[in-house]
Chains A and B, each alone.
Chain A
Amino acid sequence: MNKAERTSAKTAREKIKEQQAAARARDKRKRLTTYVTAGVVAVAAVGLGWWYAASNSQPEEAAAALAPITVQADGSVVMAKQGVTAPVVDVYEDFQCPACKELERVSGQTFKNLAAEGKAKVVYHPITIFSQEPTKSNSVRAGSAARCIADGKQWMAFHDLLYQNQPSETEAGFTPDQLKNWGKEAGVTAQGFDQCVTSEKNADTQLSFSKKIIDAQKINHTPTVKLNGSEIDNSALFSPQELRQAITEAAK
């Protein structure tokens, strides 16, 4: 091999090396692009899904004043504009149940708005579904205390306060002192309220009412919400928009 040949062989090798370097760089770029694209798409999918779930569960704004609320003799509570008798929305709930709290957070305002718009007659049935402690006693104390309130407006304010302050399922909560304070906060001025709460005067009534309702309506979980007697699916129940649509359609 003479000198010239050697030089050309060298440049050939260098050329190949350069080409390889360029190929590597191209490859690196391509790899980076693919990675970034896939990453962006994945993050966007998660973000979109989250956004959809969150917006689907966006509670309604409080619109008008509440429809008239009447506490009935058996402790169930009717919220409806005068003359509105259908469709009937029955809410079976337990003040101690976290899913009921979640329902209240997501869809509570929808029930109130629909009643205020005269599009539904909403009936609350506060029951005690728990059979183990401490949840059972918590629920009975709260349910019993709610039964000490005769005024509908105060009852609803108390109802809302109970959910806002729901105790953990692992500890004793809804203490008589707390319940009395929330009663005051809800505007209860009736004499005998404190005594009624402290003595748990309505505990037995709360339990027998719960048993009766659970048997008659075949309730095995709370919250159970029935529209004209048939249960509303959870996916609709926890989506204010779908819930409104289902109830409004039943009104037609």
Chain B
Amino acid sequence: MTTVARLVLGGVLIAAGALKIGNPADSVVAVKAYQLLPESIAVTVGYALPILEIVVGLLLVVGLLTRVAAVIGGLLMFAFVFGIAWAWAHGLRIDCGCFGGGGQLGVGQEPAYLLDILRDFGLVLLGGWITRFAPGRYALDGALGLGGDNRNEGEYDDEQG
């Protein structure tokens, strides 16, 4: 289950980042469209977001630093939920920019805020799950003895008894 959660959350992050990374300008415009951050910070976030998504996504998929990556991934998704809800509440007509593009919607396009929020909130929950039950099977953390919990240390404790 944790492994599946890792693959899903990591996969989504990688896809979202990869679609944006070729076009940092789009990403900047999308971040600005939310009107949540001051201009200079929005530019920085716009440039950093795609690569951050990809790196965190990769860490989750291979299961390295799983717990840390899951916390960051979950927080990212939570920030997206907040941003979309904010845009919704303020009647901004933007698409979520989740998968590149983003910014103002064209004619006749309706934003699918609720769907976006539900999807991202589901991903927040996955992040929470991974954080709780890290690292799951097929994770580098496990292979390297970096369980992140005390399970591996247990071996020694047992022998001591």
Contact = CB atoms under 8 A, between A and B. Distances in A.
Contacts of A102: 25, 28-29, 32
Given A98-B33, A170-B92, A56 B24 contact: yes
Query: Which secondary structure dominates where chain A touches chain B?
Result: helix
B25 A57 contact: yes
A64 interface: no
Nearest to B92: A170
Contacts of B56: 42
Nearest to A52: B51
A30, A39, A45, A99 interface centre (most CB from chain B within 10 Å): A99
A54 B51 contact: no
B84 to A, nearest CB: 15
Contacts of A168: 35
B80 to A, nearest CB: 18
Interface in A43-64: 45-46, 48-50, 53-54, 56-57
A169 interface: yes
Interface stretch (B6-14, B113-121, B152-160): B152-160
Contacts of B50: 49, 53
A170 B91 contact: yes
Given A46-B52, A49-B51, A35 B65 contact: yes
Given A53-B50, A99-B103, A169-B93, A20 B28 contact: no
A38 interface: yes
A50 B28 CA distance: 12
Interface string B91-121: 1110000000001101100000000000000
B48 interface: yes
Contacts of A23: 156
Contacts of A235: 22-23
A116 B1 CA distance: 61
Interface string A1-40: 0000000000000000100100110010011001100110
A34 B103 CA distance: 40
A31 B143 CA distance: 11
Given A17-B160, A131-B107, A132-B107, A35 B93 contact: no
A112 B34 CA distance: 30
A238 interface: yes
B23 A38 contact: no
Contacts of A78: none
Contact of B146 (A34, A98, A106, A220): A34
Nearest 10 pairs of A and B residues by beta carbon: A49-B51, A238-B25, A53-B47, A53-B24, A50-B48, A54-B47, A99-B29, A45-B55, A102-B29, A46-B52
